[in-house]
Amino acid sequence: MLRPSIALGLAIPCVLLLAGACGGSSSAGPSKSGPRDGDAGGTQSGLSSGLPCDVDKILADNCRSCHAAPPQFGSPMPLLTWDQLQAPAATDPSKKVYELVAARIADEAKPMPPVPNARLSEANRQAIADWVASGAPRGPETCGNTTTTRPDGVSCTPSLSLAPESEWEMPEDAGDEYVCWGVDLSQEQAAHITAFVPVIDNTEITHHIVLYEAPSKVSGVPTPCSAGSAVTWRMVLGWAPGVKPLELPPEAGFPISTDPAKPTHYVAQMHYSNPQKLKGKKDKSRIDLCTSAPRQYEADVMAFGSQDFTIPAAPGQGGQYSIDCALTVPSAFANLHLFAAMPHMHKIGVAMSTTLTPKDGGPEVDLGTMPLYSFDAQAWLPINATTKSGDVIRTKCSWTNNTGEPVRFGEKTADEMCYSFTMYYPRIKSSIWSWAAPASGPPIGATCK
């Protein structure tokens, strides 16, 4: 039963990996998104798209990492040529694609590019709006915009892999599917995980991944799972298109169990999307791990937020309801360095933020904010803070409940959560400590209103 699918000492040639993993950092801009696998996003140059050059460039820079040919990461159509923008839209054939483009780049609730990617600049939004308002005419000349894929590399070479035991085949008629598989990880030699590097196999259907640690073993065979997450699962990593691999600070690493009787139980929750109803699409995406000899500090994950709330059946103001939880840092977890946050709610979550207000009156520090939370784009956010005794950590979760029923904390798809999973070091080793303690309510955890 031990680590059946862990390729030990896996030597991955540079070419198979994200290009950037071998040659150091790429010249990509900081907020750019892009698929990581080879040239999955498609590279096109020289040929005329038929689009005016400014429009063509905006689409090349911001949209074609997903809206390529074939479309990637669950996006429904390519946005490469004038003809493709004149076609009837996939979801509403009474409209043309360019009309939906204008609508979605201005859509405050469901913008394109999707969260967690950066919104289009005001100037770019205006350029597209002007073009659409003038009837979306052809452009005269050849623009030669090149759609570059922007590999987001890591500085290390993966040596282990968390992979499913078999491929998942996406049913043709399932628009969305949540699929779980588990891997037990232990190693003879003490080692630390220093980076998590998602390797997306089928970029056409893979929409989003969340990696958890579970208290017990989960089958390695990909199996449909709830779209929620178990209350006892602790989130380690979130990946959505455009999110970089997570590399830990050089002084910290996640310890790997050296006790084969007590391996770490990882669970990957894959979110697949098949809006085009493609037949026979299979996926075997995995998460590669860089490892090293134990580093100075052990890293760990804890959760801020709450486990005790009920969202009323009919909250006011369009179904909006929020909780605001405050935790005064006890001396037991002072002097912790916080370096990554993964806000986590379920499907009716709309916004989430965590902040730290220093006791000594310094400026408020952001510990992970998603003003437009989406269950389908959960991702880790880089943060940088050190806790001091008496600091106040506040987590706000907002939901829109139009279900007509009260919604409680829990693990079913219809339940909700408010956890801001936070990576920190050095690991708290007290035997009475649990990762959920800060979210467990008084006397140890936060008080919510």
238 belongs to the binding site for ligand HEC (CB under 6 A): no
76 belongs to the binding site for ligand HEC (CB under 6 A): yes
Is the CB of residue 413 less than 8 Å from the CB of residue 285?
no
42 belongs to the binding site for ligand HEC (CB under 6 A): no
Is the CB of residue 211 less than 8 Å from the CB of residue 235?
yes
Strands 310-311 and 192-199: unpaired
Distance in Å, CB of 63 to ligand HEC, minimum: 3
Sole window of 18-26, 103-111, 219-227, 290-298 interacting with ligand HEC (rule: CB under 6 A):
103-111
Among 7, 28, 69, 90, which residue sits at the site for ligand HEC (rule: CB under 6 A)?
90
Is the CB of residue 396 less than 8 Å from the CB of residue 303?
no
Distance in Å, CB of 358 to ligand HEC, minimum: 36
Strands 310-311 and 168-170: unpaired
Among 18, 40, 68, 112, which residue sits at the site for ligand HEC (rule: CB under 6 A)?
112
410 belongs to the binding site for ligand HEC (CB under 6 A): no
Distance in Å, CB of 298 to ligand HEC, minimum: 34
The residue among 1 and 109 lying less far from ligand HEC, judged by its C-beta, is 109
Among 113, 158, 164, 222, which residue sits at the site for ligand HEC (rule: CB under 6 A)?
113
Which residues between 5 and 34 bind ligand HEC (CB under 6 A)? 33
Is the CB of residue 51 less than 8 Å from the CB of residue 59?
yes
Work out the angle between the directed axes of helices 122-133 and 53-62 (0-180°, nearest 10): 130
Eight-state DSSP code of residue 347? T
Backbone angles phi, psi at 388, to 5 degrees: -125, 150
51 belongs to the binding site for ligand HEC (CB under 6 A): no
Taking the mean position of all CA atoms in its chain, how far away is CA 335?
28
52 belongs to the binding site for ligand HEC (CB under 6 A): no
104 belongs to the binding site for ligand HEC (CB under 6 A): yes
Q: Residue 32: which of 64, 55, 56 has the closest Cα? A: 64
Backbone angles phi, psi at 344, to 5 degrees: -140, 115
91 belongs to the binding site for ligand HEC (CB under 6 A): yes
H runs (alpha helix) in 365-444 = none
Give the footprint of ligand HEC on this chain (CB under 6 A).
33, 62-63, 65-67, 73-76, 89-91, 100-101, 104-105, 110, 112-114, 117, 120, 241-242
